[in-house]
Amino acid sequence: MATLVGTFFHSHGGTTSLPPEAWTLRREGRPIRKDVPRDSTEVNREKARRTHEGFRVLRERIAELNADVLVVFSDDQLECFDFNNYPAFAIYVGDKFRKSPREPRAATIGRHADPGFEFNGQSALATAVLSGVMERGFDPAFCLDMPKPDRGLAGGIIRSAEELTIDLSMPIVPIMMNLYFAPQVTGKRSYQFGKAVREVIDGFPEDLRVAVAASGGLWHTPGMPGAWLNTEFDLKTLDLLKTGDARGMAEHFDRYVIPDDDTSQDQSTPIRVSTGLPSPGGPAFGTRETCAWIAAAAVTEGRPTTIVDYIDVYASPVGNAFAYCDDV
């Protein structure tokens, strides 16, 4: 039977790939709210160091636990799907998938595969997850191959594959959730989905050591006018995660009401990152990647989780965070 070895949580935004010297340029090119603090390059360097230290801690713990396969919850940001057809959940069941061949390697830090690099899937476990969650009341889409080969697979999945595996060879089960474009998956549904995935892992007949990762978040609304960083919201999420309260995380997320004057979360106008359709509630845009964390937290619900770090990166702005639970 399969054995769950732990759950792992990380942010994946642009500031996890850009050198800190470029963070200031990114900030200057974005319409960030005027009261958001400005960090010096020296402070940004230290925050970048902490970000990649977070990745190192997670990567080495996964290796120490001898994981055979990594199941990744993340979003898709038009790499695979678009507004012609956007599924709430999609599971990739193919044997191989690729990074975008168009992604540049220049001016990046951290661990990065070459453009077009081919990663290993794990079709047996992925197929079991697909059929298993269907038996438990979910109706996900599935992909036997990449819907848009020229775009590669979802960037959030790729970041987990690059940063959490030692040599890029570990098989990955990509689970893509619509966490960006309204109407998105709710915190409650993410929690229920994570519980279903745990049941499938526990019942999988092959002898596999399975790690589960959440890729994305925390608070960020990149490029939106008046963007800011709600550290209070993030820290409450992490407090709940620390105690294994996945249901509480979902309730905290879904209860949030966007203020009428918060232009950074205005989803009413159709633009590249907005359908113009109503949201089911909770924060908007990139912050909804927190629901990937909720799904992974549900996999180890009730178990204590180690918070590695929370880094308030005002240049984006984004809450970069890292955590793991190996008490399963």
Domains of the chain: residue spans and CATH: 3-325 (3.40.830.10)
DSSP-assigned beta bridge partners for residue 119:
97
| The pLDDT of residue 25 | 87
User: Do 68 and 1 touch, CB atoms closer than 8 A?
Assistant: no
Phi/psi at 29 (5° precision):
-90, 5
Residue 24, pLDDT score? 87
Distance CA 190, CA 209 (A): 23
Do the bridges between strand 172-177 and strand 89-92 make them parallel or antiparallel, or are there none, so unpaired? antiparallel
**CB distance 16 to 215 below 8 Å:** no
Mind listing the pLDDT tens digit of every residue in the chain (328 residues)? Answer: 999 999 999 999 889 998 999 998 888 889 999 999 999 999 999 999 999 999 999 999 999 999 999 999 999 999 999 999 999 999 999 999 999 998 666 568 899 999 999 999 999 999 999 999 999 999 999 999 999 999 999 999 999 999 999 999 999 999 999 999 999 999 999 999 999 999 999 999 999 999 999 999 999 999 999 999 999 999 999 999 999 999 999 999 999 999 999 999 999 999 888 999 999 999 999 999 999 999 999 999 999 999 999 999 999 999 999 999 999 9
Q: Is the distance from CB of 273 to CB of 82 less than 8 angstroms?
A: no
Distance CA 115, CA 151 (A): 10
Q: Which two tokens mark 174?
A: 């990509």
DSSP three-state, residue 68: coil
Rounded distance between C-alpha atoms, residue 270 and residue 110, angstroms: 34
pLDDT of residue 240: 98
Alpha helices in 31-186 (DSSP H): 41-64, 123-135, 155-164
Backbone angles phi, psi at 249, to 5 degrees: -60, -45
Distance CA 125, CA 55 (A): 25
